[in-house]
């Protein structure tokens, strides 16, 4: 048989297979149903995408033409290797190693992606080797990537068995100690020039107002609806028995802690003050200590692999929560009524970020939205710009996977702000058991880099266990 004749025969065979597959699918949704052929092996074809999976494993291969299907049916070793996104999707949806997220999400700077998000709840099968390091798969992104968290160095035999401090690149404080009493110390980046230190103290005989206004020509503050006591509706004061004063005035957020309102602090409402600290377009001027450590590590170890990573969002959610503390009372920053003292068994009565109330069954729990563009850290975001595509895990992601995924036996930081009190700002950290708790930013804990693989990177081998991690071939 001549080569030309052989090619014609192969073309005819391929056409027959496609026609048969299409014919068999008639009576179902057109070209969208799966066909299973059983024998010594089991094959599943999706005619619309011309996809195939074999042996009922967590591996799915992608054939783009009929010849690929013919070769794969004849010899499984000729099947194209699966992508990491497909591998994660199949492992979770077929083998029950995780779950599908259906809530709000923000994995790209502008708008939301369309891909389904899958996350691991079983920490046994989410091990990966990429860039000569071990990682744990956290979840997929709505743009089709796969976020992975650093998990130490690999062994000579390509196993990933690190625990404790070996799963970190080092132990560092989140912020420098000189910033621990100012709200801008909360964040992956911050603006030191807007730092207004928190002060403590009250004045005997002082009066307090529900609101305070500032007259620019006269350089005077004026209180309204005044009363003789500092309470849940009266947070503003001149620090005296007068209802008007020259700067500075005071805004109390606990029964004894306040910030001074000076003539240079934008408007004088509590929400405007918070916006000046956390939402303004120029807030991200200085790197936190955590960000600097991450960048130094990435620069030394990962720049060769940048082209295989997606520029996903690392969310540093500084949106503040008017629902207040864990028992859903208003915090001290809410001028419409906020607690000034701690309820029994609680210590959040000051400024709480969304991450501080996300963990008690509220709508914020496991919420992947990132409301403010200034908190969506990415290389391509000029309002929250990263030097490299690397960040930390968020508190919400930490609660996705349960402790079996994130328990390393050591403590490490997240990217999620928690709260501010008169002692220090606090960020979320993951403790020795995998739980998510608050901690002062001047404490030293582990740093575990998080990167996001492009979903097209190939899984060349492995089953995802520590003894047989997925080996990623950059693609």
- The answer to whether position 323 is within a domain reads no
Name the domain boundary from 277, 302, 329.
277
- Distance between terminal CA atoms of the chain? 39
Cα separation, 91 vs 93, whole angstroms: 6
> What Rg value do the Cα atoms of the chain yield, rounded?
28
Residue numbers of the domain that contains 31: 3-80
Cα separation, 455 vs 90, whole angstroms: 13
Residues 40, 53, single domain; the answer is yes
Number of domains the chain contains: 3
Residues 209, 287, single domain; the answer is no
Q: What is the pLDDT along the chain (475 residues), one digit of tens a residue?
A: 555 555 554 554 554 554 444 443 333 233 333 333 333 333 444 333 333 333 333 345 556 566 776 777 676 666 777 899 999 999 999 888 889 988 888 899 987 788 999 999 888 999 999 999 999 999 999 999 999 999 999 999 999 999 999 999 999 999 876 666 777 778 899 877 766 778 889 999 999 998 888 888 888 999 999 999 998 889 899 999 999 999 889 988 888 888 888 765 544 466 667 676 777 777 888 899 999 999 999 999 999 999 999 999 999 988 876 544 444 446 677 666 677 776 665 555 577 777 665 554 555 556 788 888 999 999 999 999 999 999 999 988 887 765 678 889 999 999 998 887 767 788 889 988 888 888 889 899 999 999 999 999 999 889 999 999 999 988 8
The answer to whether the beta carbons of residues 364 and 354 sit under 8 Å apart is yes
- The answer to whether position 87 is within a domain reads no
Q: What is the value of pTM for the model shown?
A: 0.80
Residues 363, 427, single domain; the answer is yes
Residue 38's DSSP bridge partners are 42
- Helices then strands (H, E): number in the chain? 7, 30
Residues 309, 183, single domain; the answer is yes
Residues 157, 54, single domain; the answer is no
- The answer to whether position 336 is within a domain reads no
Residues 244, 290, single domain; the answer is no
Cα separation, 436 vs 401, whole angstroms: 12
Write the CB contacts of 441 (distance below 8 Å, at least 6 apart in sequence): 173, 174, 175, 179, 180, 185, 186, 288, 424, 425, 426, 427
- The answer to whether position 333 is within a domain reads no
- The answer to whether position 53 is within a domain reads yes
The answer to whether the beta carbons of residues 356 and 295 sit under 8 Å apart is no
Residues 313, 419, single domain; the answer is yes
- The answer to whether position 371 is within a domain reads yes
What are 452's two structure tokens? 């996001």
- The answer to whether position 324 is within a domain reads no
Residues 76, 115, single domain; the answer is no
Residues 9, 143, single domain; the answer is no
CB-count exposure of residue 282 (10 Å: 0-12, 13-18, 19+): exposed
Residues 282, 135, single domain; the answer is yes
Name the domain boundary from 26, 52, 80.
80
Residues 41, 176, single domain; the answer is no
- The answer to whether position 339 is within a domain reads no
Residues 175, 299, single domain; the answer is yes
């Amino acid at each position: 048989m001549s080569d030309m004749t052989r090619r014609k025969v192969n073309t005819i065979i391929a056409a027959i297979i496609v026609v048969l597959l299409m014919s068999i699918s008639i009576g179902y949704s057109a070209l969208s149903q799966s066909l299973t052929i059983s024998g010594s092996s089991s094959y599943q074809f999706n005619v619309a995408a011309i996809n195939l999976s074999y042996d009922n494993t967590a591996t799915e291969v992608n054939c783009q033409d009929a010849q690929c299907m013919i070769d794969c049916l004849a010899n499984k070793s000729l099947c194209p290797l699966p992508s990491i996104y497909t591998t994660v999707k199949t492992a979770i949806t077929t083998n029950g190693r995780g779950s599908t997220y259906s809530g709000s999400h923000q994995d790209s700077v502008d708008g939301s992606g369309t891909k389904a998000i899958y996350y691991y709840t079983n920490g046994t099968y989410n091990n990966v080797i990429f860039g000569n390091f071990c990682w744990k798969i956290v979840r997929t992104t709505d743009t089709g990537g796969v976020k992975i968290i650093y998990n130490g160095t690999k062994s000579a035999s390509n196993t990933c068995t690190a625990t404790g401090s070996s799963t970190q690149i080092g132990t560092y404080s989140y912020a420098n100690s000189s910033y621990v009493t100012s709200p801008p110390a909360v964040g992956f980046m911050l603006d030191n020039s807007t730092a207004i230190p928190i002060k403590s103290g009250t004045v005997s005989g002082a009066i307090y107002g529900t609101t305070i206004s500032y007259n620019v020509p006269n350089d005077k503050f004026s209180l309204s609806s005044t009363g003789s006591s500092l309470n849940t509706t009266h947070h503003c004061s001149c620090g005296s028995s007068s209802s008007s004063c020259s700067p500075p005035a005071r805004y109390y957020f606990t029964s004894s802690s306040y910030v001074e309102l000076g003539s240079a602090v934008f408007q004088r409402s509590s929400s405007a003050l918070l916006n000046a600290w956390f939402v303004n377009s120029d807030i991200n001027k200085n790197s936190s200590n955590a960000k600097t450590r991450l960048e130094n590590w990435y620069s030394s170890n990962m720049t060769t692999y940048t082209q295989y990573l997606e520029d996903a969002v690392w969310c540093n959610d500084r949106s503040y929560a008017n629902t207040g503390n864990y028992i859903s009372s208003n915090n001290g920053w809410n001028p419409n009524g906020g607690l000034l003292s701690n309820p029994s068994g609680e210590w959040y009565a000051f400024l709480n970020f969304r991450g501080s109330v996300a963990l008690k069954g509220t709508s914020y729990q496991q919420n992947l939205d990132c409301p403010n563009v200034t908190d969506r850290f990415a290389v391509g975001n000029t309002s929250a710009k990263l030097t490299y595509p690397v960040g930390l895990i968020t508190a919400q992601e930490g609660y996705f996977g349960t402790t079996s995924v994130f328990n390393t036996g050591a403590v490490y930081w997240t990217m999620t702000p928690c709260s501010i009190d008169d002692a220090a700002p606090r960020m979320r950290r993951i403790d020795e058991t995998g739980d998510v708790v608050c901690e002062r930013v001047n404490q030293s804990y582990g740093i575990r880099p998080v990167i996001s693989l492009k979903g097209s990177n190939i899984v060349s081998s492995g089953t995802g266990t520590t003894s047989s991690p997925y080996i990623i071939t950059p693609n």
